């Protein structure tokens, strides 16, 4: 009995197979990106993007942080982070204070209004994440959800390594 020559999938077939799976990731990333840049009122009357709300909360939880530290944490350039900080300072949600040790360094702190927004944001996110988890549990097991978060964590590491 002769062995049939196995057909090697064409590059188009391979691409389709891989791309169909990754299109879900692309769609998720694009939808989530649009979600994080859209403006929202977390309950204080201040309308901010998710990026701005999370930045305020990071500063609230890490008083005295710097633009450089924020840029590193959020994987953004210092310039991009400075633009966000300038908007938040202009809206009196955070303030800059010059370092006593180094005049070039500005430390960031939330204002009273920034603190209110951070607290409202934490409450909103806690409720929203719980609701999202309930909805996911209608279609996925706890193990599947945990596996998803593990894969996302590893994917982040791979992407960060690609930029090094």
Look at the domain 11-162 and name its fold: Arc Repressor Mutant, subunit A (1.10.10)
Q: Percent of the chain scored above 90 by pLDDT?
A: 68
Cβ contact 34:44 at 8 Å: no
Residue-wise pLDDT for 70-98, tens only, equals: 999 998 999 999 999 999 999 999 999 99
pTM over 0.95: no
Residue ranges per structural domain of the chain? 11-162
117 pLDDT higher than 50:
yes
**Tens-place pLDDT, residues 24-44:** 888 998 999 998 889 999 999
Whole-angstrom distance, CA of residue 145 vs CA of residue 24: 16
Please provide the average confidence, as pLDDT, over all residues in the chain: 91
């Amino acid at each position: 009995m002769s062995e049939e020559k196995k057909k090697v999938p064409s590059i188009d077939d391979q691409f389709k197979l891989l791309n169909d799976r990754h299109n879900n990731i692309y769609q998720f990333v694009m939808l989530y990106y649009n979600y994080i840049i859209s403006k929202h009122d977390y309950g204080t009357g201040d309308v901010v993007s998710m990026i701005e709300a999370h930045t305020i909360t990071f500063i609230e939880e890490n008083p005295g942080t710097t633009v450089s530290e924020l840029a590193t944490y959020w994987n953004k350039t210092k310039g991009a982070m400075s633009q966000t900080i300038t908007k938040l300072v202009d809206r009196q949600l955070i303030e800059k204070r010059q370092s006593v040790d180094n005049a070039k360094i500005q430390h960031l702190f939330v204002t009273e209004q920034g603190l209110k927004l951070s607290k409202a944001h934490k409450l909103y996110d806690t409720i929203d994440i719980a609701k999202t988890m309930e909805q996911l549990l209608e279609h996925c097991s706890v193990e599947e959800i945990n596996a998803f978060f593990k894969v996302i964590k590893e994917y982040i590491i791979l992407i960060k390594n690609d930029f090094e």
